[in-house]
Amino acid sequence: MATITERIDNTTRIPATHLVPAPPAPRSVKIEISPRCNYRCGFCALRTREKQPKWDMDFALFKRITHEMREAGVEEVGVFYLGESFMNPRLLVDCIAHLKREVAMPYVFLTSNASMSFPEAVEECMKAGLDSLKWSVNAADETQFEKIMGVSGRLFHRALDNIREAWETREREGYATALYASSIRYDGAQQSRMEQLLGERVLPWVDEHYWLPLYSMGAFASQREKELGYRPTAGNQGRLGALREPLPCWAAFTEGHVTADGKLSACCFDATSHWTMGDLTRQTFMQAWNSGAFVALRAAHLERDVRGTPCENCLAYG
């Protein structure tokens, strides 16, 4: 089985077949099981929402669109998008089970902040057939955690405990779920602290770890980011070690992004429906994937001129 970094690179590398305004179905789609999150990270697009949504993904809608995705050729589904999927663990487990048992989706993956991923819920995900579980670890200590994530430092310690217990559960019961972690690469003393934490509390409990740049999250640059001194990159250029050019942006060509209310977005970080390209409550997946709006946006990306499109500010950032 491919490693997580190999899968990421395969998604962020746009093949010739998809370098067209109306490409075939993407290999990968992320679906927002829950749009809510218990963190308030200063760098996250969720902070642009005036109010946290109260609704989660409708399971009937999830079942319909995932069948359509598989029939169209989608091979990987992430049971998350912007929110924290462990906010609704019962729905999360049901979605994983449906994908593996009813849809026969080859690869189902999940990213979590780990603070809500209690061992009982993680084990149910593993039982249901989750292929990959990745942890986001982006603070070196409790003080920094409270400053960046905007919540109590107790969650910092809980998340680290949950990461360890997930490994112990998998090893004890023999589940096949791969366990990974990623971290934002900062610089200087902060980077040294991160490396120490990872070496002591994370790397022993994962199969692979990789580094990410600090994304702009759709050009969202909060005052907090400026105060912290961490400068985001434009758009989503992938992981460090295999960064992609901003234009054309792979996210519009090789990966689908579905919000909890059924909107198909062109952007990895669309918390405000600014990049909505279709409505899956009214359209099939492929109708939305190659809607008029999406085709026009991709054409602009291929011309490397996104002025006047929803992507203009993202590329102009900084």
Instruction: Tell me how long the chain is.
Output: 318
Interaxial angle between packed helices 89-97 and 119-128, expressed in degrees from 0 to 180 and rounded to the nearest 10: 10
Contacts made by residues 144-147, CB under 8 angstroms, sequence distance 24+: 144/190, 144/193, 147/228
Q: Give 222-264 pLDDT, tens digit per residue.
A: 444 444 444 444 456 656 655 667 889 999 999 999 999 999 9
pLDDT at 233: 46
Considering the entire predicted model, what is its pTM? 0.90
pLDDT at residue number 186:
79
Q: Which long-range contacts (CB under 8 A, 24 or more apart) does 142-145 make?
A: 144/190, 144/193
As a whole number of angstroms, the distance between CA 56 and CA 69 comes to: 20
The predicted pLDDT at position 7 comes to: 86
Burial of residue 74, with CB atoms counted within 10 A of its CB: 0-12 exposed, 13-18 middle, 19 or more buried: buried
Radius of gyration, CA atoms only, the chain: 19
Q: What is the pLDDT of residue 58?
A: 98
Question: What sign does the CA torsion over 245, 13, 178, 218 have?
Answer: positive
- Amino acid 228: pLDDT: 46
| pLDDT score recorded for residue 189 | 84
- pLDDT tens digit at each of 318 positions of the chain: 788 888 888 888 999 999 999 999 999 999 999 998 887 766 666 666 666 677 899 999 999 999 999 999 999 999 999 899 999 999 999 999 999 999 999 999 999 999 999 999 999 999 999 999 999 999 999 998 998 888 899 999 999 999 999 999 999 999 999 999 999 887 778 889 999 999 999 999 999 999 887 654 433 334 444 444 444 444 566 566 556 678 899 999 999 999 999 999 999 888 778 899 999 999 999 999 999 999 999 999 999 999 999 988 774 333
Which pLDDT value is given to residue 279?
98
Q: Three-state SS string across the chain, please?
A: CCCHHHHHHHHHCCCHHHCCCCCCCCCEEEECCCCCCCCCCCCCHHHHCCCCCCCCCCHHHHHHHHHHHHHHCCCEEECCCCCCHHHCHHHHHHHHHHHHHHHCCCEEEEEECCCCCCHHHHHHHHHHCCCEEEEECCCCCHHHHHHHHCCCCHHHHHHHHHHHHHHHHHHHHCCCCEEEEEEECCCHHHHHHHHHHHHHHHHHHCCEEEEECCECCCCCCCHHHHHHCCCCECCCCCCCCCCCCCCCCHHHCCEEEECCCCEEECCCCCCCCCCEEEECCCCCHHHHHCCHHHHHHHHHHHCCCCCCCCCHHHHHCC
**Dist. CA 19–CA 3, nearest whole Å:** 25
Tell me the per-residue pLDDT of 121-170, one tens digit each, with 9 for 90 and over: 999 999 999 999 999 999 999 998 998 888 899 999 999 999 999 999 99
Q: Of the candidates 250, 231, 246, which has an alpha carbon nearest to the alpha carbon of residue 312? A: 246
